[in-house]
Amino acid sequence: MRTDPAVTGGPGVRHRISELLGSRVRLPDGSCPGFVNEVRLAGGPGLQSYVVDGLVVGSRVQGSMLGYDRREVLGPRVLRAVVRLVNRDLSYAPWASVRRIDWDERVVEVERLGPLTDERAPR
């Protein structure tokens, strides 16, 4: 899958992942469903071959599932339930739906949002 380099800035340009985390997410209709809470990487072999696979979007500036989004992390049930409740609005923007990243304004323009799936769930 090729992406127009204009999406992310010119080739070779370097950014920190922390600039992406917390960025505002904007949909084509101008609405803002939330902020980048997590950056999912995929690829390999070798860490240098991993690329951004998509962005986890949540309604707060920062948020963490503390690992409870994965199906194998079970207990304690109460804590898992609370974390899931607090983060029930999380959604996923796969890389193909990212139209543009404005690094200066910290805004990510996204075509559409999909449901957040367990990373180990079959696709």
Partner 1 sequence: MKKIFAVALGILTAIGGFVDIGDLVTNALVGSRFGLSLAWVVVVGVIGIVVFSEMSGRVAAISGRATFDLVRERLGPRIGLANLLASMGVTFLTFIAEIGGVALAIEIATSVNEVLWVPVVAAALWIVLWRVRFSVLENVFGLVGLALVVFAVALWKLDPDWGALWAQVTSFSPGADNTWTQYCYYAVALFGAALTPYEVFFFSSGGVEEHWGEKDVGTMRLNVFLGFPLGGALSLAVAAVTAVVFLPAGVEVESLSQVPLPVAIALGKIGVAIALLGFFAATFGAACETGLSVGYSIAQFYGWSWGKFVAPRQAARFHAVILLSTLVAVAVLLTTVDPVAVTEYSVVFSALALPLTYLPILVIANDPDYMGERVNGRLANVLGSVYLVVILVVAVAAIPLMILTRGGQ
Partner 2 sequence: MPGRDEPGFRRQYDAELHLLDRQIVDRDGRPVAKVDDIELAVRADGRLAVAALLCGPGALGPRTGGRPGRWTTAIWRRLRTEEDPQPGRIDAALVTGTDNAVHVSASADELRVDGLERWVRHYVVDRIPGAGHAD
Partner 3 sequence: MTARALRPDRSRWRAAVLAAAAALTASACATPEGDPSLYRDEAVSTTKAAHSSVATVAIVLRTRLRDLTFGRAADDAVSTAETSLTSTAGTFEGLQPPRGADSVRRQATQLLSDAEDAVAAARIAVRRDDRAGMRAALVAVTRSADALDKAPETLP
Q: Confirm or reject binding of residue 107 to partner 2 (CB under 8 A).
A: no
Q: How far is the CB of 69 from partner 1 (least distance, A)?
A: 12
Pick the stretch among 5-13, 60-68, 95-103, 114-122 that binds partner 3 (CB under 8 A): 60-68
- 86-115 positions binding partner 3, by CB under 8 A: 86-87
Q: Which is nearer to partner 3, 92 or 95 (CB)?
A: 92
Is 106 in contact with 23 (CB distance < 8 Å)? yes
Contacts of 98 (CB under 8 A, 6+ apart): 3, 7, 54, 55, 108, 109, 110, 111
Is 114 in contact with 96 (CB distance < 8 Å)? no
According to CB under 8 A, which one of 1, 13, 47, 74 is a site residue for partner 1? 74
Is 56 in contact with 38 (CB distance < 8 Å)? yes
Contacts of 10 (CB under 8 A, 6+ apart): none
Q: Which is nearer to partner 2, 11 or 30 (CB)?
A: 11
Question: Can you give the binding site for partner 1, defined by CB under 8 A?
Answer: 62, 64, 66-67, 72-79
Question: Can you give the binding site for partner 3, defined by CB under 8 A?
Answer: 60-66, 79, 82-83, 86-87
